[in-house]
Amino acid sequence: MNINLSSKNALVGAATQGIGAGIATELAKCGANVILMARNEEKLKNSVAALPVIHESQKHGYLVADFSDFETFKIIISDYFKDNTVDILVNNTNGPEPGLAVEKNVDDFQKAFDLLFKTVCKTTSLALPHMIRQKSGRIINVSSLSVKEPINNLVLSNSIRSAVAAWSKSLSNEVAQHNITINNVLTGYFDTERIRTLIKVESEQNNQSVEEIKKGRENKIPMKRLGKPEEYGHLVAFLASEYAAYLTGASIPLDGGLANVY
């Protein structure tokens, strides 16, 4: 199977590190023109320079946008789509702060809603008109296993990611007639900056070493290891390709078998 995304334009959120960077790299390897979106311009420049270029017409770029400031984000992303279109949209943001339900208030949930839901909804709404006109498009949402089973100490992510999954399933049914697919990837434990931060918080809360917490997570996974960002990119590249033209409205666990343990 040779995935060829040449001439396709892809926009990837939170793409300077971790899963986002893994996705961007694999899409570029398949020939797509990749636009990285994140808040740190210096990291964006370095990340764009590191992306593979496999043919002469392939061009990469970046868009500076902070997902945590929705009002400003809305202006930036709207301006971008005035002059640009995308064939592949990867909705990915940084995650909200960890915490328990009893610790969080309404304002915390509103901030998480702005971060995880409103940015995704707004970006998708701007990408769709072009996809509908050309009768083709791929939208992939980077989500979490918490959609299937809430994860302890991540109440904000648990709540809002479930809302995104329900919204995207509804939307997928509405746009399927235009050959546009929308799928969620339910992320397990991957070797990223995010997981290292969560492990550190958990170690402080439980008075255990970082290594103990990490090993405990790995032991829950049937494969006994964390996932690699490039492995995530492989699945997204497939979902972005013509090979996945009949796959839509799905929430696909990518977790080394962890979902089956719940």
Question: Which residues are within 8 A (CB) of 114 and not within 5 positions of it... i.e. 6 or more apart?
Answer: 68, 70
Reported as type and span, the H/E element at residue 251 is strand 251-254
Look at the pTM and tell me if it is higher than 0.85. yes
What per-residue confidence (pLDDT) applies to 260? 62
Q: Token pair for residue 64? A: 């500076």
Q: What is the DSSP letter of 117?
A: I
What per-residue confidence (pLDDT) applies to 262? 44
The CATH class for the domain spanning 9-190+228-261 reads: alpha beta
Instruction: Kindly give the confidence (pLDDT) of every residue in the chain, 262 residues in length, as a single tens digit, with 9 standing for 90 and above.
Output: 899 999 999 999 999 999 999 999 999 999 999 999 999 999 999 999 999 999 999 999 999 999 999 999 999 999 999 999 999 999 999 889 989 999 999 999 999 999 999 999 999 999 999 999 999 999 999 999 999 989 888 999 999 999 999 999 999 999 999 999 999 999 999 998 888 888 888 888 888 999 999 999 999 999 999 999 999 999 999 999 999 999 999 999 999 999 764 4
Ordered by start, the domain boundaries in the chain are 9-190+228-261
| Distance between CA atoms of residues 103 and 111, nearest Å | 14
What per-residue confidence (pLDDT) applies to 193? 84
Q: Token pair for residue 107? A: 């304002």
Contacts made by residues 130-134, CB under 8 angstroms, sequence distance 24+: 130/85, 130/86, 130/87, 131/87, 131/175, 131/178, 131/180, 132/175, 132/178, 132/180, 134/87
| Distance between CA atoms of residues 118 and 65, nearest Å | 14
Q: What is the DSSP letter of 261?
A: G
Q: Across the beta sheet with 33-38, what order do the strands follow?
A: 61-64, 33-38, 9-13, 88-91, 137-144, 180-187, 251-254
